[in-house]
Amino acid sequence: MNVACVLLAAGSSERMGENKLLFSFGGQTPLALCAEAFFSAERELYKMAVAVGPATRAQGESLRARYGERVVIVEGGATRAQSVYNALKELQGAQIVSIHDAARCLVSPMVIANSIKSAAACGSGVAGIPARDTVRLAGAGVIDRSRVTLAQTPQSFRYDRIMEAYERAVTEGFEATDDLALYERMGYTGVFTEGSILNQKLTYPSDMPMFEAALGALIRVGYGEDTHRLMENRALVLGGVEIPCKLGLMGHSDADALTHAVIDALLGAAALGDIGRHFPDTDESYKGISSLILLEHTAALLSRAGYRVANIDATVVAQEPRLAPYIGEMRTRIARALGVDTSLVSVKATTPEHLGPEGRLEGITARCICSIKTQPQRN
């Protein structure tokens, strides 16, 4: 059967106080997360009509660029119902249509698939969950919660039935807050399918920690390593700290091998390239620059990509000088450049016991492992 979907992204977000669909989690907007879930649940999706407003039109165009002509951009209406109706008119040829609020960006492919399967078999499939808390109706006391189902989206239907329901509602000026109400108004019986407690609607500012926790569970790990040659008449800088020594590190910038290893680890974790790509040694503006400034730039790159530092663990391999007295200050300066607490930054030092190039005082090597996690962004 030809399965289509409607993604609603034209709302005003009045209860949030700002447009919630402009947030991004790990570089993914709610609309993009929903689209990904639908194409995972229904790989042969016939069409996807995305109802957008001025603020979300660019996101809709981005989906069209990613998924091709199956994505249709539709102008949202003054109400949710008008947006759905506008989208449905673009989906002629579909046999099943699944309607979803983009603010429910934690929806899983399984919830979507269950809804669509029910619509194909029974005419409708509305994601829902049983009430878990005591339900009270103002002035009427406690309601038996075993009889209460909390309706979610997606809400999937036979296309001809839900289109007829919306045409009648528009003609008669009838408004409803969800699609099932219009479907049942036509005399059809709605069928509930298994939703998810995670399939909540991003509505209030107080919802953000839960969405951040759910979407911020994505942890990425990076590794960085850097070696610089030791030479005379150069300062020895590690972790932004200048350390008294007869030899220093050679390089285009301040040659801070420790900070460079941290930068490469962070860029690698976010798949943003490496230090040479962002701060090439052919660029004279970086000549002699403090590597802590480069680390600050790296932190900004991560933030724009929707990530924040979870932890840093670095080791410096050096025969001389003794680094233990400077470790605390290195941690502090690296943490400050990244805008994180010092407790998230570990720096260690080890000697190679006179083995290898570090043991022969030819150079110093630093290695770093880091983890980063997603964070919500305002686009």
Cβ within 8 Å of residue 95, ≥6 positions away: 1, 2, 3, 120, 158, 159
Q: Cβ(6)–Cβ(87) under 8 Å?
A: yes
For 15-29, give one letter per residue: b (16+ CB within 10 A) or e: ebeebbbbbbbbebb
Q: Above 70 in pLDDT, residue 15?
A: no
Q: 175-220, pLDDT tens digit by residue?
A: 888 999 999 999 999 999 999 999 999 988 888 878 877 775 578 8
Indicate yes or no: pTM above 0.85: no
Region of residue 89 (phi > 0: left; psi between -120 and 50: alpha; otherwise: beta): alpha
Segment 267-320, tens digit of pLDDT:
999 999 999 999 998 999 999 999 999 999 999 999 888 788 999 999 999 999
Beta strand pairing call for 96-101 and 3-9:
parallel
Residues 75-124: tens digit of each pLDDT:
999 999 999 999 999 999 999 999 999 999 999 999 999 999 999 999 99
Give pLDDT, residue 353.
95
Tokens 């189902």 belong to: 149
CA distance 244 to 43: 62
Neighbours of 341 (CB within 10 A): 9
Whether 14 shows a pLDDT value over 90: the answer reads no
Q: How far apart are CA 148 and CA 155, in angstroms?
A: 17
Percent of the chain with pLDDT over 70: 96
Backbone angles phi, psi at 339, to 5 degrees: 75, 35
Q: For residue 180, how many C-alpha atoms fall within 13 Å in the half-sphere facing its CB?
A: 21
To the nearest whole number, what is the mean pLDDT of the chain?
A: 92
Percent helix / strand / coil, the chain, rounded to 5? 40, 30, 35
Q: Above 90 in pLDDT, residue 21?
A: no
Asked whether the bond before 357 is cis by omega within 30 degrees of 0, the reply is no
Q: What is the pLDDT of residues 113-157, one digit of tens each?
A: 999 999 999 999 999 999 988 888 888 788 888 889 999 999 999
Token look-up 């929806």 returns 107
